[in-house]
Amino acid sequence: MQESGGKRKKGLEELRRKLDERGGHMTQQRAAVYDYLSSVEHHPTAEEVFLNVKRQVPKISLATVYKNLEALVACEAISKLSYGDGSARYDIRTDHHYHTRCLSCGRMWDLEAARGKSALEQIKPQPGFTVSDFRLELLGLCKDCKK
Amino acid sequence: MQESGGKRKKGLEELRRKLDERGGHMTQQRAAVYDYLSSVEHHPTAEEVFLNVKRQVPKISLATVYKNLEALVACEAISKLSYGDGSARYDIRTDHHYHTRCLSCGRMWDLEAARGKSALEQIKPQPGFTVSDFRLELLGLCKDCKK
DNA sequence: TCCAAAACAAGAATTATTCTCCTTTTGTTC
DNA sequence: GAACAAAAGGAGAATAATTCTTGTTTTGGA
């Protein structure tokens, strides 16, 4: 499930650069958290990251996972999402994009924002409110659940 | 801040009808929660509902407020806005509309969906996914927090 | 009026997350 | 490469939002 060596190494170098900018250090635990997020297609919870990273760094604590996820969000290496239910989820992508969510199975997918951006800009907030970002989810039924 | 007597009474009758459909009872506490939500422009948290309803029903407990909010959501008298950042908020509206949310103070406002709807329909999901609803938030700074 | 179901209050429990305290590691400087 | 300050780690306590539990009261229909 891990990316190929070269690509992975490149990701970690990029991460180090981003950490450096804010005076953050690269650690084994941090690299493992980032690496795990790079290796999965979906958007896992902190708990899920913890359980998986533990296999590579058995002594890592849940608090460390949380602190690292926070640090990675702060240096814009990953982004934090919420599906609206319990726990927050983390996404290796930091570019502007949205999500589709299946109301039946709960799974989510990325939605390319290319067309969305200009469409969203047509929607105006109340006077005096300055918009800095959009959050958009399309809710419905996925291919599998429609059967 | 309360609605005029007639309108308020009508709202409560409507609520009783919705509760009846699911075998729910009308109580002083439940009416007060609903009434408070009807009386405000913004979308308060459970805590905020609790503190305000307490002024009318001093012995109400926070758990009761939560249970009533849940019951009102279940009978579709109100809706719950949970985007995962901090506490959930509750909205007397159940029709299709969107929200603005201030990143500084956390408050939320309604955003009329009239223009939004056609704009959102331009955004296409992955093939095979059937969209039944949109969730949209504009994030930014409100008038007060910009100062 | 009576009764079963529903709802109440109070507080304990749970869940997700953050904080505290003390130890270890990192990266920079000599 | 040793020394050092800052950053990060680990373990578990603390916090915040929400839900559950227990025993009591209220509601609405018979």
pLDDT tens digits, A88-119: 889 998 887 888 877 766 667 788 766 566 77
Q: Does the distance separating the beta carbons of A120 and B128 come in below 8 Å?
A: no
Cα-based distances in Å from A50 to A12, A79, A113, B17 = 19, 17, 30, 47
Query: In the predicted model, is pLDDT for residue A55 greater than 90?
Result: yes
Cα end-to-end span (Å), chain A: 29
Structure confidence at residue A7 as a pLDDT band (50, 70, 90): low
Query: Which pLDDT does position A59 carry in this prediction?
Result: 95
pLDDT in the model for residue A141:
85
Residue B76 φ/ψ region, left for φ over 0, alpha for ψ in the -120 to 50 degree band, beta for the rest? left
Per-residue pLDDT at B19 exceeds 50: yes
Residue B64 pLDDT > 90: yes
Interface test with A, best of B104, B129, B133 (most A CBs within 10 A): B129
Higher pLDDT, A91 or B114: A91
The two most distant CA atoms of chain A are separated, in Å, by 52
Identify the band that residue B147 occupies on the pLDDT scale cut at 50, 70 and 90: confident
Which residues does chain B have within 8 Å of residue A128's beta carbon, measured at their own beta carbons? 142-143, 146
Distance CA B22, CA B18 (A): 7
A106-to-A83, A87, B89 alpha-carbon distances in Å = 9, 13, 21
Alpha-carbon distance of B49 to B2, in angstroms, equals 14
Question: Residues near A51 by Cβ (< 8 Å), separated by ≥ 6?
Answer: none
**Strand C atom within 7 Å of B53 CB:** no
Query: Does residue B47 contact residue B63 with C-beta atoms inside 8 Å?
Result: no
What rounded mean pLDDT belongs to chain B? 85
pLDDT at position A84 over 60: no
Cα A126 from Cα A136, distance rounded (Å): 18
B54 CA to C9 C1' distance (Å): 13
- Angstrom distances, CA of residue A147 to CA of A106, A144, B128, B129: 16, 6, 11, 12
Q: Is any Cβ of chain A less than 8 angstroms from the Cβ of B147?
A: no
Please give the structure tokens belonging to residue B2: 């309360």
pLDDT score of B9 more than 90? no
Contact criterion met (CB < 8 Å) for B115 and A123: yes
* Interface list for A 77-106 with B (CB within 8 A): 81-85, 88, 98, 100, 102-103
B38 touches strand C (CB under 7 A): no
CA distances from B119 to A117, A118, A121, B4, B57 (A): 10, 9, 9, 36, 44
Mean pLDDT throughout A60-68?
A: 97
Mean pLDDT of B26-48: 94
Contact A140, A102 (CB under 8 A): yes
Confidence of residue B40 (pLDDT cuts 50, 70, 90): very high
